[in-house]
Homo-oligomer: A and B are copies of this chain.
Amino acid sequence: MPDASALPAQPAPAVPPHVESVDTQYLESLVGYNARRAALAIIAQFLPRMAPYDLRPVDFSVLSLVAHNPGITSRQLCGTLNILPPNLVGMVGQLEKRNLIERLPHPRDRRAAGLHLTPDGETLVREAELRVAALEEEATARLTAAERKTLMRLLQKIYR
Contact = CB atoms under 8 A, between A and B. Distances in A.
Nearest to A77: B22
A65 B42 CA distance: 24
Contacts of A69: 19, 22-23
Copies of this protein chain in the complex: 2
Given A40-B82, A140-B158, A33 B61 contact: yes
| Majority-rule SS of A interface residues | helix
Given A17-B114, A35-B155, A143-B158, 17 more contacts: A16-B107, A19-B70, A22-B69, A23-B68, A24-B80, A28-B152, A31-B148, A35-B38, A38-B39, A38-B158, A38-B159, A41-B158, A142-B157, A143-B154, A150-B150, A150-B154, A151-B155
